[in-house]
Amino acid sequence: MIFSSASFIQNIMLTSNFLVPLIVTAVAMPYFIRKLTENNIVAKDVYKKGTPTIADRGGTAILLIAMLSLSMNSLFFKFTSTNYVAMIVIALFGLFGVLDDMINIGRSSKLLIMYYCSYPLIQYATHTAVTLPNVGDLELGILYLQFIVPTYVLVASNLVNMHSGFNGLSSGLAILVLVSLIIKSVLISDVENIISVVAITGATIGFYLYEQYPARIFWGNVGSLTVGAAIGTIIVIQGFIISGFIMLIPHTVNFLMYVYWKIKKYPHVKFGKVREDGTLEVPNPLTLKWVLPYYYRVTEKQATYAMFLLTSVFCIMGIMLPGRV
């Protein structure tokens, strides 16, 4: 059993904080879909014939239900203060996502504000050394706290936000990374500070059931920034700097491809098209999810699963690194 290395109480605590938000989100999502649709909070599904509109900003449910689960479980379990601070940071990113969905405040302002959203984590990042394979621990001290902690959370949230576009792509990839980081925490028998992230993971899986192909709802910036912040948070709290980086390599490559696109000043194109046979027609191979459809005739679902497979390989590599590497 995956929780066999933890104490019995930790087993129950982890299981409860994982299953409660998963089940509540899965049950409540039809209500959210209906309410969002009734209030015209929708977006076009561009890779479907006729470009239908479906509910948007469903990531709000992930944040609300995860917070509710943590509050309910606090009646039965005692959590470390780190968990509450982690949830505050995740909520700050989520609230910023709500704002980002509503108005465009500019990229520079966005990055600056989000950088300081993660500052509450600084005093709770107990591991300030980076473990390098075949080298050992490299103690970074104040540099880790003042630079790596806020930067990592900021970068992770934006990487998740950018690596999207297909039904269930962003949320599915985030689940793979989150579950891998939780597994790694269990393997080193250190789970007491990741309960908030476990709750976010459960809620995200419940949400994915409705965003997977064919999607009934999108999670919007509020969802990607919330879950991306959860990824960054667990990485810096647990000290998984190297393994976390490895797990996020596909996300990083996607970002670097975007940078190359901008440097070359190629025309901006946000979406491709869907052919009559259901396969994707994309304008270039300059974003990771478009590489396969650009060279081969694949469907949206096939392209998404290819991205899942790629990220799974790097997640396994990250898990296999020993200790806190």
pLDDT digits 0-9 by tens, 240-260 = 989 999 999 999 999 999 999
Predicted pLDDT of residue 4:
45
44 to each of 41, 99, 170, 215, 254, how far by Cα in Å? Answer: 11, 20, 16, 11, 23
Predicted pLDDT of residue 110:
76
Question: Would 63 be classed as within a structural domain?
Answer: yes
Q: What is the largest CA-CA distance in the chain?
A: 57
**Which amino acid appears at position 60 of this protein?**
T
- The helix/strand/coil state of 140 is coil
Question: Would 292 be classed as within a structural domain?
Answer: no
pLDDT classification of 1: cutoffs 50, 70, 90: very low
Q: What are the phi and psi torsion angles at 12 (to 5°)?
A: -65, -45
* Beta strands per DSSP E along the chain: 42-44, 53-55, 129-132, 136-139, 273-274, 280-281
Statement: residue 181 has pLDDT above 70: yes
Statement: residue 208 has pLDDT above 60: yes
Predicted pLDDT of residue 2:
45
CB atoms under 10 Å from CB of 112, counted, come to: 11
DSSP 48: S
Predicted pLDDT of residue 41:
96
Question: Would 99 be classed as within a structural domain?
Answer: yes
pLDDT classification of 166: cutoffs 50, 70, 90: very high
159 to each of 31, 247, 254, how far by Cα in Å? Answer: 29, 12, 8
Question: Would 305 be classed as within a structural domain?
Answer: no
Question: Would 248 be classed as within a structural domain?
Answer: no
Question: Would 263 be classed as within a structural domain?
Answer: no
Report the mean per-residue pLDDT for the chain.
91
- Which pair of structure tokens corresponds to residue 191? 């789970």
Statement: residue 92 has pLDDT above 70: yes
Q: pTM of the entire structure? A: 0.93
pLDDT classification of 80: cutoffs 50, 70, 90: very high
pLDDT classification of 5: cutoffs 50, 70, 90: very low
pLDDT classification of 133: cutoffs 50, 70, 90: low
Boundaries of domain holding 67: 5-242
The number of folded domains in the chain is 1
Statement: residue 77 has pLDDT above 70: yes
pLDDT classification of 217: cutoffs 50, 70, 90: very high
pLDDT classification of 205: cutoffs 50, 70, 90: very high
Tell me which of 309 and 150 has the higher pLDDT: 309
Percent of the chain with pLDDT over 70: 95
Contact 66, 24 (CB under 8 A): no
Question: Would 309 be classed as within a structural domain?
Answer: no
Percent of the chain with pLDDT over 90: 74
Statement: residue 51 has pLDDT above 60: yes
Question: Would 210 be classed as within a structural domain?
Answer: yes
Angle at 256 between CA 253 and CA 258, to 5 degrees: 115
Mutual orientation of helices 195-211 and 169-187 as an angle, nearest 10°?
A: 150
Statement: residue 49 has pLDDT above 60: yes
